[in-house]
Every structure is written in C-alpha cells, then in structure tokens.
Structure 1
C-alpha cells in the first residue's frame, strides 16, 4: 500500500503506486493535442510509410492527440515497464540452425501484463480521486504512446522512432492513462541522440529514409509481424534468421549500457524454448501445434501461416540443406503464402529455382 502522508501530493502518491505495481517509469503530460505531432503523423501516412496497416490510417484523426480521442481528457499518465534482456540480442546472428525472436516476444504477452497493472493503478486513482473519469491504453488503441512518453518526461523519441530512456535504454513497454483530472505535468524530455546514428547504420533493410522517420514497408518487424502477404524478395536475404521482429536498431543504442536486466518485470523473463528455437522444429508446426506452443505469447496473434512463412525465409537463408525435406513438404501447403515461401527456400537451398 502507498502511504498517504500530508506532505505527499496526489502526483507523488500516484508515482509511488505505479512503481509498486511494476512500472519503472512514470510521468504526466498535458492532454492537449500537439499540432506538430499531428502534422508528422498525417505526413507519414500520406507518404504511405505505414504499409498495409490500414487501421492506422482509418483512425488517424483520433490518433493525432488525446483530446481528439476524448475531449474531456485533461492529463495523460505515461508509464513504462522494463523488458531489458540478459542475453545479447545478436547472439544468434550467425547461427543457421536457430531462429531469432525479438526480445519482447520471448516472454509473456506484454499487453496482458501492462494492462492488468494499468487497471490496478486506475482503480487506485479512482479511490483517491472519486471525481475522476479515466481510460487505459496499451498499444492496441489509437494512441501515440511514444511522443506522449517524451512529453511526460519518460525519455525521448530516438532516431529509430522508439522511446529512449536514460535509465532503461530502448527496452520499455509503454502504457497510458487518460484522465479528467488536472494533474501537475512533468517537464518533457530533451533529445539526447546528438550526432549518433548507430540505429540508422544497423538497420539491415535501410528502413530509415532519414533520422526520426521509419518506412515500415522496409522494416523487418513490420514484414515479419504486420505484413500478411508474401515478403518482397528484395528484403528476404537481409531478414537472415529473424522469424518474429527485429531488435537491431534498439540493441545498438548506446543508452542501453545503463539498462539493467534486474529492472525487468518478472513476466517478461524469456521462455527457455524461445531464446534459441531450432528452425527444423518450427517448420514442423501445424496449426494446432502452433497454437499450443505459443499460447500466452504475442507470437500467437500472427497465426501459423505468417509464422511458417517467416521460418521458411530463415531456412532459405540458412544454407542448411538438411532442412530441404521439411521445406519440400511445405511447397504444397494449403496457405498460398507459405507455399510460395517454400518454393523460394527450396530454390535457395538446392541452388535451382
């Protein structure tokens, strides 16, 4: 329980409660829309850089700011949970037998964990200030968590477009609470990227046309998670053995040297079978086995088809001819996207189209 001494403000008690619930970062920002953030969002969408994520375009007017979504909102409580890894995300980079899964997806689905803590914090706030109305958000709503996190002082949006924290590097899951309370706002965070361009140079597919601007259509995370069709051939070799997401631009950030794995929320400890999964075992998954294996994991939401498609790209890049029988078996898969990826992988491994 959070103590309620007379000398602690509601904001101070709120932050103490948030830390008690597992958040390592918490700040407060005004809920007013920001014209510059809105303009950048609409320009990014107009340039088509969201790819086939039509849901971003469909609700752009609501996404552009807190009060565009909820005019009664007066404050935004921005929060972050750490998922700092213990193991080097590049450890499997040159291992043809194993697949690479993004650090964030090696543990329990963050949506569930963050939302549960947000709801607990919301209940506490309602008890402390019964007059408040509020809404909680974790990633799935039209909310720009990263710029709001910057405005609330959690960190700054780095050149890779993700939030960077002085204490937790690039390893934060973000959530937000919109409230009708007029809370004292924190100071927005200064940009500390300086002249560094490590994240830009690390991107395998040149997904950053300029600093602070991501072309999702070239991003491996987008291609392996959000994109539903065949992966464009120009990016397949660069994907390497990544089968779900990509950590490269995050992992090379120099600010990660201050991040401590001990700060990671216990729910995000990696599952042993997802740290270095074998490609041959993943290629053998049918729909039922896929669902069973990834129960409680964010990977489950992309479905067996997209997942096996990704594994076939990794197989084609592996140079491991021992995988040919499994690849061959998928050439006739009922999912046309899987079958096409299998034909490509077979050609790469056998040396013939």
Structure 2
C-alpha cells in the first residue's frame, strides 16, 4: 500500500490501524495508499489516498521532543477555528489523541492543489508582474491572519498575548538548552549565548496583540495553479498562538533574500531559498511598507524581530541536530546543522550589529 517501506516509515505510521480509523470516520473504500512527504523538517506529513479522496495527515516525529514542540492537535484547533474566516486554510477532517492508531496524536485534512515555492519559482511566475505579486500576496495573507477576531472564532484561550515577546526569547533559549544536553558533546556554539543576552535585553515590552501563525514564510503557503499568483492555502500552524504579530513579520523576512545579502552558507542551503533576490521581486523594505499599510502596525525594533527570527531558526536547527544524533530522524538536512547552527547564530549577530540591514 505504500512506496516507502523503510524502517523509519514503519515508525511513523501503522497502515492497517490507520485504515481502520479512516474507515470508521469516512466509510469503507476499495483503494488506499500512504506515502511519506519529506519536504518539511519538523512535524511529519503523510499523503493518503482514501478511495477518491486525497488527504494529508500531520503527526509529530518519533522519539523524545522538546517541551511544547510539535503540537499537532494545537495546529488542528486553530485551522479548524479558521474554517469560516478570510484566512486561507485547508479543510479539516478529523483529529485524535489516541496513540493506539499510529503511535502519536495526529490530525487529518483535505489535500490542497497548487504550488509551494521552495528551491525555485515555477515557469508561469517568471515575469516581473507575477514575481512582484508573489510577495504582495504573501504580505496580504499575513495581514488577514493578524486581522482575525480571535475571540469571535473561539480562540480566546488560545494564548496569552501579554508579555509574549519576552516569553519568546525565554522559550527559544530553553529549546537551545534542551538540545545542548546532547549536542555540546559534538561541538559548542558560543555566539548563541551572546545573541541570547542581547535579545533578553532588547525585547519590546509593548506590542500589538493578535493571532500569530508562528511559522509564516514563503514555503508554508501554497499558490493556486493559475498564472496570476494567489495564495490558495496556508500550512504549518503548529506554533500558532496569540501574541505579537511583528514576530510573524520578522520570521517571514528572515527567509526573504535581497540582492544586497551575502549568499547563504552551504550548511543552510536547504533553509535559504534565494530566487527572490531577483530585481523583479519586492525587497524586504517594500514588504514591510505594504504590511504596515495593510495593518496599521509600525515595524519598530526591526533588528530585534529579525534577529529573534534567526535565533529561533538556529534553535530549531539545534533540536534537529539532537534528533539526528539520537537516531530519531532520517531527514538529510539534520546532520548539516552541525555547521548550520553556528552559521545561523553568526547571521543573528550580524543583524544585531547592523551588518545585515533591512
């Protein structure tokens, strides 16, 4: 029933038990197939064909994970709450915390059709108008997330926006400490502690309070299969909460390359799409101006928000490296984090020092 029969696949899904679960939820079918989608680097994604239905399953990785990471049921909660809003999310199907099915929490949603922009742009977008529209769509859809009346959609208790930004620094520092329990035996990253102290000292005390996505970037949205770029769906809500929307903007900008930027190091090439450095694309400054116009929020303390974003990415990388060392992933990107995390920490330091400007 699957084209992926290695032992890691067997650790993340029991096909017979999953079939029983889906049959109880959706009814019996004659054809069934499961495949492991390996483009993401955090939660695991499975593509399921259930008769004539195309589905997606999201579950955490196997093995020990950092506290509060990989919460797929939280991801389901927010996507389900946003079904009738302007925010473009997949259609939810079901969710369960019954680990007897596939060994973890998981949820099911309908699979969307379209294009995710990762290593390169599709041929239909290779013109100046489309390239500019890619960035404009990305910003406009982020503004829609930040405009959601989270109380009206039932997310009033989804987070604690007061003090959010300071807690972000604390939380991601704790993720580093969790990973360092294992990774420091391999190598240390002293610059992380310098960045950590600067972020603690410079976290804004006052900020807007909205629903935040938590992982909003170009390759977490899908563009519709049309010549004119339009975002069809937004994915990967596992870190969403109520908090400071400018953390979303800083995260998105950390993945958006400008012509003036240095080339990313080889150790982070899988995390650094650079085709938008073309002069046809919007610059980071233009993206910020469009966001400010759409939301009314001013992007103050931009060095803090951009440095925090890269710091968080480095912390994720260090957690990935721990999982690699412990044998809890087959992702070929994870071992690259031996050198990738130090490179990301150096980038955060450059942003703080003004050597990598907005």
TM superposition score normalised by structure 2: 0.28
Give the number of the structure with larger relative contact order, counting CA–CA contacts within 8 Å between residues 6 or more apart.
1
TM superposition score normalised by structure 1: 0.28
